[in-house]
Amino acid sequence: MADIARLTQLIEPEAKALGFDLVRVRLSGSAAAGDRTLQVMAEDPATGQLVVEQCMALSRRISDAIDTAEAESGQELIEGAYHLEVSSPGIDRPLTRPRDFAAWAGHEARLSLVEKVDGRRDFHGQLIGIADGVVTLEDRKTGRIAVPFEQIHSARLVLTDRLIAATRPLDTSGIDEFEASPEEEKA
């Protein structure tokens, strides 16, 4: 079993060296089935996103760091073969750090808790924000809930028109080069 905390300690300095903030490190799939994926999400603090070239640079650094750590320790950090996937968090991004809950206050989010609150573990509604380590959400079914950050198992933004309007793509170069299809030209 891979140690995510150890992998995060190895990966975070590589992201920082490129000027990026690490958003999430997750390992999914099965070593036995040979379909393991090490997913790394990072962002440029200036934009909240990464472009393809930035993902490629971070991917190379992470791969080299893992190879070096494995060579030095003589142990595999991730058992068996795996795919390394480096990406930007995207529009409907996961909320993994306290500052994410502050930055995206006012937007719709889904929260899944470690333990049930009022008989429920999953909530969906408008994110109010975070204060003193407590995340507040206006849940569609039960109203306002407040839970300690540590009790959140997972959280992510919900794709809405408002979220799309608040998020601009970094690079739209080449968009004028697309040709209209014959059907579009007739319209």
Domain count, the chain: 2
pTM over 0.85? The answer is: no
Alpha-helical (H) ranges within 18-166 are 52-73, 98-103, 161-166
User: What is the pLDDT, as a whole number, of residue 178?
Assistant: 46
**pLDDT above 70: residue 1:** no
The verdict on residue 182 lying in a domain is: no
**pLDDT above 80: residue 6:** yes
Distance separating the N- and C-terminal Cα atoms of the chain: 56
The verdict on residue 185 lying in a domain is: no
Please tell me the least confidently modeled range out of 34-38, 66-70, 125-129, 144-148: 34-38
CA distances from 54 to 72, 81, 131, 175 (A): 27, 24, 33, 20
- Residues 15, 51: one domain? yes
Last residue of a domain, one of 36, 58, 87: 87
Which residues form the domain of 52? 4-87
- Residues 115, 69: one domain? no
The verdict on residue 175 lying in a domain is: no
- Residues 159, 138: one domain? yes
- Residues 8, 82: one domain? yes
**pLDDT above 80: residue 154:** yes
- Residues 77, 111: one domain? no
Alpha-helical (H) ranges within the chain are 4-17, 52-73, 98-103, 161-166, 182-186
Q: What CATH number did the domain enclosing 140 receive?
A: 2.30.30.180
DSSP assignment letter at 94:
B
Averaged pLDDT for residues 149-172: 85
User: What is the pLDDT, as a whole number, of residue 88?
Assistant: 93
Split at pLDDT 50, 70, 90, the class of 138 is very high
The verdict on residue 92 lying in a domain is: no
The verdict on residue 103 lying in a domain is: yes
**pLDDT above 80: residue 94:** yes
The verdict on residue 51 lying in a domain is: yes
- Residues 82, 104: one domain? no
CB-based contacts of 54: which residues, under 8 Å, 6+ apart?
18, 20, 44
Q: What CATH number did the domain enclosing 60 receive?
A: 3.30.300.70
